[in-house]
């Protein structure tokens, strides 16, 4: 049953909306002002030091739930994330210099990592996930795609490694934030990992008219699901975590992209 996954939503809502948007007939909702671009990036650091995934010695709470889904993830989640990723990349292309250092937090099987890496040829992308099995799959996929400016770390989003402090220009967190038991604390950790003027980009369903469809499906098939949030709740959490500016864009129906500036 899980293999059916999110295909009905992707086929009936997301892909049609993306086609309508491509011809200029989709009215995008926004909140706040789009942030200024990142002037210069941190370049390459982790990819030169870590040629293989860096894993944690002790197990992480919740890791096994996602390890068990690693093989099903492509058929279950990726159908929904592909159109959302494409629309989100159009937004963050306006922010990124070619030497930016990006953290893909909650990277899962890492399908977005090569797409991000090609945008920062003088920078790098660090894939990070709680699941070691997911992380190793992301490593294999990225290397198979020729993305050499990458590194991989097994992490807990609520307690990022010390070596991440003030290292990243942009944190990309797609379809993972609704798993975080203490989302405000995770945002504080993201802010700690950002360089000056860095951006935290959260892509997740928002509580809108689409919420009545998306939340029951998430509760049914998504291990570790905690909650979706309204735009106002996101704004408040970003502010409480110390971010100076907040912007939100509903890139596709029910799917919001939040961008906080350190």
| pLDDT tens track for 124-181 | 999 999 989 889 999 999 999 999 999 999 999 999 999 999 999 999 999 899 889 8
92 three-class SS: helix
Phi-psi region of 168 (alpha: psi -120 to 50; beta: other; left: phi over 0): beta
Q: Distance (Å, rounded) from C-alpha 194 to C-alpha 191?
A: 5
Select from 54, 66, 146 the least CA-distant residue to 106.
66
> Where does the pLDDT of residue 194 fall: very low under 50, low under 70, confident under 90, or very high at 90 and above?
very high
**Which tens digits make up the pLDDT trace of 67-116?**
555 555 655 666 667 889 999 999 999 999 999 999 999 998 999 999 99
Say what the pLDDT of residue 3 is: 41
Q: Distance (Å, rounded) from C-alpha 148 to C-alpha 247?
A: 32
* Angle between helix 78-92 and 15-22 (nearest 10): 30
Report long-range pairs for 210-216 (Cβ below 8 Å, ≥24 apart): 210/13, 210/253, 210/254, 211/254, 213/9, 213/254, 214/9, 214/254
Phi, psi values for residue 107, rounded to 5°: -70, -15
Taking 3-state DSSP, the helix, strand and coil percentages for the chain, each rounded to the nearest 5, stand at 40, 20, 40
Averaged pLDDT score across all residues of the chain? 86
Say what the pLDDT of residue 2 is: 37
Q: Distance (Å, rounded) from C-alpha 149 to C-alpha 68?
A: 28
Q: Distance (Å, rounded) from C-alpha 226 to C-alpha 189?
A: 18
Q: Distance (Å, rounded) from C-alpha 190 to C-alpha 226?
A: 19
Say if pTM beats, i.e. exceeds, 0.95. Answer: no
For the domain covering 43-261, report its CATH number.
Answer: 3.40.50.150
Higher-pLDDT residue of 212, 153: 153
């Amino acid at each position: 049953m899980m293999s059916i996954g999110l295909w009905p939503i992707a086929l009936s809502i997301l892909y049609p909306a993306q086609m309508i948007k491509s011809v200029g007939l989709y009215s995008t909702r926004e909140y706040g002002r789009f942030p200024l671009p990142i002037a210069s990036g941190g370049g390459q650091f982790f990819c030169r030091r870590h040629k293989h995934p860096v894993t944690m010695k002790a197990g992480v709470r919740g890791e096994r739930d996602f390890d068990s889904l690693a093989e099903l993830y492509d058929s279950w989640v990726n159908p929904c994330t592909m159109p959302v990723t494409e629309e989100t990349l159009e937004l963050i292309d306006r922010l990124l210099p070619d030497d930016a250092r990006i953290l893909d937090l909650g990277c899962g099987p890492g399908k977005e990592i090569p797409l991000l890496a090609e945008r920062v040829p003088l920078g790098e992308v660090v894939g990070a996930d709680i699941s070691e099995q997911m992380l190793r799959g992301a490593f294999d996929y990225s290397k198979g795609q020729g993305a050499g400016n990458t590194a991989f770390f097994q992490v807990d989003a609520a307690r990022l490694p010390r070596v991440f402090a003030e290292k990243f220009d942009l944190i990309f967190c797609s379809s993972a934030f609704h798993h975080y038991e203490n989302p405000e604390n995770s945002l504080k950790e993201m802010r700690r990992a950002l360089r000056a003027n860095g951006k935290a980009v959260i892509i997740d369903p928002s509580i809108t008219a689409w919420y009545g469809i998306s939340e029951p499906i998430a509760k049914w098939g998504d291990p570790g699901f905690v909650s979706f949030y309204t735009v106002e709740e996101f704004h408040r959490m970003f502010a409480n975590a110390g971010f100076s500016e907040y912007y939100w864009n509903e890139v596709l129906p029910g799917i919001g992209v939040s961008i906080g500036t350190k």
